[in-house]
Amino acid sequence: MKKIIYISIIAILFVSFVAFEILRKSKVPILRVNNASSVVVDINKNGKEDIGEVICIPDIRTFTADLSVNQKELESLLKISREDGIKLGYLTDIFAEDLLLDKKVSLKNINKRDENCTYADILINNESYRNKLIRSGFGIEANKTNSNFYNKLKSAQKLNLVILNHKSNKYHKLDCEYGLVANDTIIVPLKYLDDAKPCKFCFVKHKNNNKLPHIETAYPLIISNGDVKLYLTDSTTKLKPDRDCTSPVCKMIKAQISEAKNSIDIALYGWNSVPPILSELQKAKQRGVKIRVVYDTSKLNYYPKTEEIVSLADHSVHDNYKTLMHNKFIILDNSTVITGSMNFSQTGLSGFNTNSIILIKSKEMAEIYKKEFEQMIAGKFSNSKETQTIKTIKLTQTKIIPLFSPQNKIIINHIVPLIINAKSYIYVPAFTITHKQFAESLINAKKRGVDVKIVVDATKPIAKNSLVKDLREHQIPVKVENYAGKLHSKSIIIDDKYIVIGSMNFTNSGENYNDENTLIIEDERLAKYYKNFFIYYWNKIPDRYLKHNPNAEGKQSIGSCHDGIDNNYDGKIDIEDKHCR
């Protein structure tokens, strides 16, 4: 019996070895970089991690910023501090991710395995990854260093890094015992933290007037220009949603509802209960204000509480199920319009998501929106609606063209021409980009010397039909946000002159099928303001996410593992999600 078991084990090992040798000759994708000397490779190409797919680089040692890894021996050997080891590990991790993530590689087996690793060198375009590590100074062979190691150490020592505890939302010095023993942490540059609080035990104000480290203050989120007021929400400073209605945009909507005298018409994609807004609508109804609601009921809708607001309406109509009623606008007393990218939910109204919202005091604008609303309340949606005559509304200091999908073919007929005529810059904070002509116009603008920058939401770079990869391949810098809340804006800023704001994503369905509204705004003051917010937001996102895509729910996305939200729509929240463990 023992002999049979022994023969079986030998046979299994032999088969595994032969299979490994066959598979290593073909290129296989990298699934995950644990650290610079340990990666997960999808050897059997089934898209998930299986036994035997952890590849360790032989006879080399590297630092990492993963605090669960004990590197005291290596720090002692090289005579560097724990803090310097973590800083060097931070740079080493980035170096490894830049080389390996999203790549297909081949493996050079050395016939060595243990219970944790299959040992092999990784070949990137037939070049040895192990040799690249050594030459860079990040890889240490036989406990020997080279001149590049000390150059990298000097660069690392200049970094202002802290330990962020996701659960407590506090940050610690790299040598702080409270940070080092916490379970849910990540090493981040201090400049990326606004909302987090300093650990009082390692950042202490003394009588000698030592101050806490400076953190860039949040960007101002409101600007008024005559009859127009622009509101922005900033997901980098709000790491957990609430229903308290304390954000500037929620207070504004609540105040506008409280002042309504005759009518409130609401077109919404979805509603999640925010009690102060619901209460204000109930008061409006009690004083005789007529409330009407048009809403979405598609299978894609993530807002099960929508009936709560629909029940208040004197008249309500939902869409035809086949396309999205994706609008998010309110018309008050036929004289005021509130519209933009924000859904009426706790993630939108609390400022947890990044959105752009605009308040317009204009009877002419309200009349145009009301014509659109009346068609939907009468049961006409998507391509069954009649096309309105396109008008430019001239306000005190602002020109606005209101457009509606799918009638106006907004991207092809209106946005692409703006991009074609751009001369200086085009900045795009966008939830998603899948519209090919839109992407092509941005690529062509980049080729003629226009400064094009894009930020997209973390759920979208690898989504079906996403054009992020194509845009990056054409040298357009595209960052992926790494915060708990979504980048939910659907905006463009061009040449200190134009802003595009609305509910429409830059997608084929947004332009050709869904019910959407978009504003093209010509206003130098508003455009410069939004441009500066974009630059602020861009700088809050690490440059490493110009190449790599952080998980929407995971330790890379700040706050996402303790926000109570299913950020990546996999049915698992916070610690239930494998990326948060």
94-140 pLDDT per residue, tens: 899 888 887 889 998 767 778 788 898 999 988 999 999 999 999 99
Q: Which residues form the catalytic set?
A: 488, 490, 495
Q: Is residue 133 domain-shared with residue 230, that is, in the same domain?
A: no
Q: Is residue 11 packed enough to be buried (19+ CB in 10 Å), middle (13-18) or exposed (0-12)?
A: exposed
> Do residues 416 and 434 touch, judged by C-beta distance below 8 A?
no
Report CA dihedral (526, 527, 529, 535) to the nearest 10 degrees: 160
Q: What is the pTM of this model?
A: 0.82
> Do residues 493 and 305 touch, judged by C-beta distance below 8 A?
no
Residue 239 sits in a domain whose CATH number is 3.30.870.10
Q: Is the pLDDT of residue 179 over 50?
A: yes
Q: Is residue 132 domain-shared with residue 248, that is, in the same domain?
A: no
Q: Is residue 330 domain-shared with residue 409, that is, in the same domain?
A: yes
Q: Mean pLDDT throughout 378-391? A: 94
**Does residue 181 belong to any structural domain of this protein?**
no
Q: How many domains does the chain have?
A: 2
Q: Is residue 227 domain-shared with residue 150, that is, in the same domain?
A: no
Distance CA(397)–CA(161), nearest Å, equals 45
Instruction: Write down which residue in 157, 175, 200 finishes a domain.
Output: 157
- Counting residues of the chain whose pLDDT is more than 90, the rounded percentage is 60
Strands 492-494 and 393-394: unpaired
> Do residues 453 and 433 touch, judged by C-beta distance below 8 A?
no
> Do residues 317 and 213 touch, judged by C-beta distance below 8 A?
no
**Does residue 138 belong to any structural domain of this protein?**
yes
Side-by-side strand order, sheet with 263-268: 222-225, 228-232, 356-361, 336-340, 328-332, 263-268, 290-295, 315-318
Residue 89 sits in a domain whose CATH number is 2.40.50.90
Q: What's the confidence (pLDDT) of residue 204?
A: 66
Q: Is residue 252 domain-shared with residue 143, that is, in the same domain?
A: no
Q: What's the confidence (pLDDT) of residue 24?
A: 47
Query: Looking at the DSSP assignment, which residues form a beta bridge with residue 484?
Result: none
Strands 161-165 and 127-128: unpaired
- Domain of 48 in residue numbering reads as 2-157
Q: Which of 412, 456, 411 is nearest to 432 (CA)?
A: 456
> Do residues 233 and 355 touch, judged by C-beta distance below 8 A?
yes
- Which position has the higher pLDDT, 217 or 184? 184
Distance CA(243)–CA(223), nearest Å, equals 24
**Does residue 564 belong to any structural domain of this protein?**
no
**Does residue 213 belong to any structural domain of this protein?**
no
pLDDT digits (tens, 9 = 90+) for 304-328: 788 899 999 988 887 666 789 999 9
Distance CA(98)–CA(90), nearest Å, equals 12
